[in-house]
């Protein structure tokens, strides 16, 4: 398939590589030098998003924020200027559900399809092509791009119409980071009691408190290895979006609100580029 790709970051670069390896006709638009490695292999780089759209059946974007996706789609020389009717924009970034719905509606007026397909699984999932993909789209549109998504992820769930994928992603982030905070509080409580935190984590795994977070982030807390993993600043960004949505919808999220404040403290301490298991250090308040 003729696929355009925008967003060669820590997630996007390995994803683009999987599409190339699977035999798709890849083209790029990129502002940053990450494209060089692809250019060396003969992948064309277009001058504008519009030019990329004009030569693509599907364009995949993997960028940071709602504003980025909106500018790429409907800004000057944006994708919308280049797409032919029947083309599809698959946005795999994490953005506001309302933004995804608005873009889908504007594209629909032009006969262009939309899929919001945010992912869970992080850089490791992108490298191993094992991402979990939460799709918001009309069913027929999703079926057209499913072969591409299957190259990138292991599990593709059609949540509902445009925007629904982003709602699921918001739920994922909210549960994940709240669980990280709960594990941090448990580790802190065990530590102030003078109890071996590694033994506590081990006892809790596999029981009613067991989770992927306790397994992975819990181990980072036990080893005090805060360097690797997911950059906390990205979760901080997700929570800003989430709490804004909750305010707009009149939906109280008391624990998420508290986690957001802890993430604010984490950012204030300068740990935004370290793993979110640094929430443990916020609780320690500098007392180690």
| Positions that interact with a copy of itself (CB under 8 A) | 97, 120-122, 132, 134, 155, 157-160, 163-164, 167-168, 170-176, 178-179, 181-183, 185-190, 192-193, 195-196, 199-200, 202-204, 206-214, 216, 242, 245-246, 249-259, 261-262, 283, 285
**Residue 66 CB burial class (10 angstroms; 0-12, 13-18, ≥19):** buried
Q: How far is the CB of 179 from a copy of itself (least distance, A)?
A: 5
Residue nearer to a copy of itself on the CB measure, 54 or 209: 209
65 closest CA partner among 104, 102, 109, 96: 96
Active-site annotation, residues? 169
Contact 25, 9 (CB under 8 A): no
Strand blocks (E) in 7-152: 25-28, 58-61, 88-91, 113-116, 119-120, 131-136
Q: How far is the CB of 43 from a copy of itself (least distance, A)?
A: 30
Segment (H or E) for 2: strand 2-6
Residue nearer to a copy of itself on the CB measure, 28 or 263: 263
DSSP state of 83: P
Residue nearer to a copy of itself on the CB measure, 6 or 176: 176
Beta bridge partners of 131: 153
- Residue 19 CB partners (closer than 8 Å, separation 6+): 3, 5, 26, 60, 148, 151, 152
Q: How far is the CB of 41 from a copy of itself (least distance, A)?
A: 32
- Residue 144 CB partners (closer than 8 Å, separation 6+): 58, 88, 113
Q: How far is the CB of 176 from a copy of itself (least distance, A)?
A: 4
Segment (H or E) for 5: strand 2-6
Residue nearer to a copy of itself on the CB measure, 105 or 192: 192
Residue nearer to a copy of itself on the CB measure, 181 or 278: 181
Contact 19, 152 (CB under 8 A): yes
Neighbours of 35 (CB within 10 A): 19
Beta bridge partners of 157: 134
DSSP state of 207: S
Residue nearer to a copy of itself on the CB measure, 204 or 240: 204
């Amino acid at each position: 398939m003729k696929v355009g790709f925008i967003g060669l970051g820590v997630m996007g670069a390995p994803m683009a590589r999987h599409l190339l390896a699977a035999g798709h006709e890849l083209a790029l638009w990129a502002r940053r030098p990450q494209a060089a490695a692809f250019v060396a292999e003969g992948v064309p780089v277009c001058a504008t998003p519009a030019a990329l759209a004009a030569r693509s059946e599907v364009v995949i974007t993997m960028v940071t924020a709602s504003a980025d996706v909106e500018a790429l789609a409907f800004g000057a020389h944006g994708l919308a200027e280049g797409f032919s009717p029947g083309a599809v924009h698959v946005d795999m970034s994490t953005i506001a559900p309302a933004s995804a719905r608005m873009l889908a509606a504007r594209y629909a007026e032009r006969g262009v399809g939309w899929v919001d397909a945010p992912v869970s699984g992080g850089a490791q999932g992108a490298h191993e092509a094992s991402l979990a993909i939460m799709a918001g789209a009309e069913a027929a549109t999703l079926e057209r791009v499913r072969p591409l998504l299957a190259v990138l992820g292991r599990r593709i769930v059609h949540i509902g119409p445009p925007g629904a994928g982003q709602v699921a992603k918001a739920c994922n982030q909210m549960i994940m980071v709240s669980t990280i905070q709960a594990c941090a509080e448990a580790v802190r409580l065990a530590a102030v009691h003078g109890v071996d935190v590694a033994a506590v984590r081990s006892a809790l795994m596999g029981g009613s408190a067991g989770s992927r977070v306790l397994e992975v982030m819990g181990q980072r807390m036990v080893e005090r290895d805060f360097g690797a993993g997911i950059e906390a600043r990205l979760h901080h960004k997700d929570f800003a979006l989430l709490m804004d949505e909750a305010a707009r919808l009149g939906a109280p999220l008391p624990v998420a609100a508290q986690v957001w404040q802890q993430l604010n403290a984490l950012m204030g301490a300068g740990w935004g580029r370290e793993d979110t298991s640094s929430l443990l250090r916020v609780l320690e308040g500098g007392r180690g």
